Amino acid sequence: MEFVPNIIGFACQWCTYAGADLAGNLRCKYPPTVKLIKVPCSGRVKPEYVMEALAGGADGVLVGGCHFGDCHYKDGNHKTKNRMDMLKKMLGDLGFDPRRFRREWISGAEGKKFAEVITDFTAELIELGPNPLKGGVK
Amino acid sequence: MADKIKVGFLLLGGCAGCEMSVVDLSEKLVDALEHIEIVFWAPTVADVKYNDLESMEDKTIDVAFIDGMVRLDEHIHMAKVMRKKAKTLIAFGVCAALGGTAGLGSLHTKEDLFQKAFKNTPTTDNPDGIYPQPSCLVDGKYDLTLPAYEDKVRTLNQIVDVDYYIGGCPPHHSHVGAAIGALVSGQLPAKGSWITNGKAVCDVCTRNPAKQGGNLARTMVDKVLRTVDGTPDADTCLLQQGYICFGPITQGDCGGSCLNVNIPCRGCGGPIPGNEDYGAQALSTIGSILKDDTVTAQLMEKYPNLAKFFYRYALPSGTLPKRM
C-alpha cells in the first residue's frame, strides 16, 4: 500500500487556520494529509503537544503562526519561534529526523502558501517514510 | 513497642546518595527511631539479603523507600517484591521518581554504553572486548549469572504503583526529616502526589528580585553563559545574568542549595505541580524568556545536546523517554 503521511497541524486561529480556510475558498489543491487543530495562538502550543503527536505515531507535525508583527497577542509568535527552534534541535537529539517537524508563518491571506507548505511537507515525509514510532513508544 | 512504623529501604540503580541523606539526619534519625523500626535496608546499610525480603509476609513493611532508577531485570524483580511487601511505597529521590541523570543513558544504545564502560575508557584494559553476560558457564560446571541489562532506563512508576514521590539528587536531609516527620505523624498528602513544601526554587532562593526589593520590571535573558564562562555575581538572579537556571519550574525542597553556592538549578527537585513532562516544560519556560533569535541560537550553541540539558534528571519520565 502506498504510504500516505499523517500530519498533525497546530494552527493559530488568527492566521494559519484562516489561511487554511482561504486555501479551500480559493480551490487550492493539496494532499489530504493534514489534521488541523485550532489553537488560540501558536505560543499556546506546548512542546509536549508536538512530542505527544510524534510519540503517538504522527509522521509529521506542523505549527503554524502569524508573521512577526502580526501576533494578536503581540509577542506570542516570538515565543513560538524561540521554543520551536529549540524543540526542533531537541527532537534531533532525541533521535528524530528534525524534518518531521515544521514551524511556518502563514497569514490569513496566504491560502496559497498554506497549500504549498502542505504539499511540500507531504512530499518530504513520503521521502522520509513512516514515523518509526508507529504503534506507540515502546 | 509494637506500634512502631516498620520502614524498609531498597536501592535500585542509584548511587546511594539518597540513603546518605537519611544518614545525614544524624541525631534526628536517632530520635525518629523511637517511632520507626528499620526492618530492611539493602544492599547498602543493613546486613540483610534480597531473599530476606522475599521471605517476608506480604504487607509487613509500613513504608518502603526505593531509590535509584530501574535498568536491570533484577531492579524490576526487586521493585515488584518490595511493592508486595509494603503498604506504602515511596519513590525516594529523583532517580526513582523521574529517572535521574542515569536516565540519560537511554540516549545511547546498550552497545555504546558497554563499549565506553568496559572497553574504551583510558584506564580499562580489555583488548578482547569481553563484556558482562547475563549467564556464563565457568569450567564447564559453574553456571554463573549476572542481572540482565534492559534496553532503556525506567522510572519506578513504570514498573509498580507508587504512592508518593520525593525529589532531589539527593533529597536535602532537612526535607527527608520533614518527610519522615509527616510519616510519623500520619500527615501525608493524597496518594500519588509529591511530598514537597509546594514552593518553586525561585520561591526559596535569596537571589529572587522580589525578595531583594529590586527592579521587578520583566527583563528578558539577553545572553547565555555557562558557569565555565565566568563567576556569577553571588546576589543577583542567575537568569538575569544569563546563566540558564531551572529554578522557576523546579520544586524548592532543597532550599536553593545550588543557588547558595553560585550554581544554577538543573531541576533535580522534580517538576512543580501541574507539569507532567519536565524537560518539555523547561524548554518552554526558558524559550519564553530568551530575548530574541540570537540568544536562542547562542543557547543552542553553548549546549550542544538540548535533550541532555533540559532532561538532565527526567528523560525516562518524558513523552519521548529514549533516543528513537
- Beta strands B70-72 and B149-154 are antiparallel
Task: Tell me the nearest-neighbour CA distance from A72 into chain B, angstroms.
Answer: 17
Query: Do B206 and B256 belong together in one domain?
Result: yes
Could you tell me if residue B322 is inside a domain?
no
Nearest C-alpha of chain A: how many angstroms from B308?
8
Does the CB of A134 have a partner CB in chain B at under 8 Å?
A: no
**Cβ distance B18 to B253 under 8 Å?**
no
Q: Do B53 and B176 belong together in one domain?
A: yes
CA separation for the pair A42, A82 (Å, rounded): 12
Chain A residues in contact with B280 (beta carbon < 8 A) = 46-48, 51
In a domain? residue B119: yes
Domains recognised in chain A with CATH numbers: 7-128 (3.40.50.960)
One domain, residues B52 and B163: yes
Mean pLDDT for A59-76 is: 95
Residue B60: inside a domain: yes
Nearest CA in chain A to B299: A86
Instruction: Provide the residue range defining the domain that includes B140.
Output: 112-149
| Of residues B287, B320, B322, nearest to A83 (C-beta) | B287
Q: A48–B308: do the CB atoms touch at under 8 Å?
A: no
Total structural domains within chain B: 3
Same domain, B259 and B228: yes
Flag whether B23 is in a domain: yes
Q: How far apart are CA A25 and CA B291, in angstroms?
A: 38
Residues B66 and B170 in one domain: yes
Q: What pLDDT shows up at residue B275?
A: 86
Helix axes A76-93, A47-55, angle to 10 degrees: 40
Q: What string of H, E and C letters represents the secondary structure of B251-295? A: ECCCCCHHHHCCCCCCCCCCECCCCCCHHHHHHHHHHHHECCHHH
Find chain A residues with C-beta within 8 A of B320's C-beta.
51, 54-55, 94, 96, 137
Same domain, B87 and B182: yes
Same domain? B188 vs B225: no
* B87 and B117, same domain (yes or no): no
Q: For residue A15, what pLDDT is reported?
A: 96
Q: Which residues contact B115 (CB under 8 A, 6 or more apart)?
A: none
User: Any chain A CB within 8 A of the CB of B55?
Assistant: no
Among A94, A133, A137, the residue with its CB nearest the CB of B307 is: A94
Task: Inform me whether the C-beta atom of residue B158 falls under 8 Å from chain A C-beta atoms.
Answer: no
Residues B213 and B83 in one domain: no
**Long-range contacts: B258-267, Cβ < 8 Å, 24+?**
B259/B201, B259/B205, B259/B206, B259/B207, B260/B206, B262/B227, B262/B231, B262/B232, B262/B234, B263/B227, B264/B227, B264/B238, B265/B201, B266/B312, B266/B313, B267/B312, B267/B313, B267/B314
Q: How far is A27 from chain B (nearest CA, A)?
A: 36
Task: Tell if the CB–CB gap between B284 and A83 is shorter than 8 Å.
Answer: yes
B219 in the same domain as B80: no
Between chains, do A82 and B324 touch, taking CB under 8 Å as contact?
no
* B84 is a domain residue: yes
CB contact under 8 A, B281 and A48: yes
| Residue B324 placed within a domain | no
Is there a single domain that holds both residue B82 and residue B182?
yes
Using a CB-CB cut-off of 8 Å, the residues of chain A touching B220 are none
| B66 neighbors B13 (Cβ within 8 angstroms) | no
- Please give the full DSSP string across B51-65, using - where no structure is assigned: HHHHTSPTT-EEEEE
Q: Sort out which chain B residues have CB atoms less than 8 A from A82's CB and list them.
A: 287-288, 290, 292-293, 295-296
Q: Are A114 and A16 in contact (CB under 8 A)?
A: yes
B158: closest CA of chain A, how far (Å) = 12
Report chain B residues whose CB lies below 8 A from the CB of A46. 280-281, 284
Interface subset of B 246-305, CB within 8 angstroms of A: 276-277, 279-281, 283-284, 286-288, 290, 292-293, 295-297, 299-300, 305
CB < 8 Å to B322, chain A: 95
Predicted local distance difference test score (pLDDT) of residue A135:
67
The CA radius of gyration of chain B, in Å to the nearest whole number, is 22
Q: What does the block give as the cell for B267?
A: 531541576
Question: pTM of the prediction?
Answer: 0.92
pLDDT, averaged in runs of 10, over chain B (324 residues)? 84 94 91 91 91 94 95 96 96 96 94 93 91 92 93 95 95 92 88 92 92 80 94 92 95 94 95 91 95 94 96 95 88
Residues 73-132 of A with CB under 8 A from B: 78-79, 81-87, 89-90, 93-96, 132
- Cβ contact (<8 Å) for B307 and A132? no
Lowest mean pLDDT among A101-110, A122-131, B9-18, B175-184: B175-184
Question: Looking at the domain assignment, is residue B106 inside a domain?
Answer: no
Nearest CA in chain A to B295: A82
Reported as a pLDDT band with limits 50, 70 and 90, residue A112 is: very high
Return all residues near B134 (Cβ < 8 A) that are at least 6 apart: B145, B146, B147, B148, B149
Longest alpha-carbon distance in chain A: 46
Give A47's pLDDT tier (boundaries 50, 70, 90). very high
Q: What is the mean pLDDT of chain A?
A: 94
Q: Are B39 and B87 in contact (CB under 8 A)?
A: no
What CATH number corresponds to the domain at position B93? 3.40.50.700
Domain boundary among B194, B226, B247: B194
Query: Is residue B188 a part of any domain in this protein?
Result: yes
Residues B30 and B121 in one domain: no
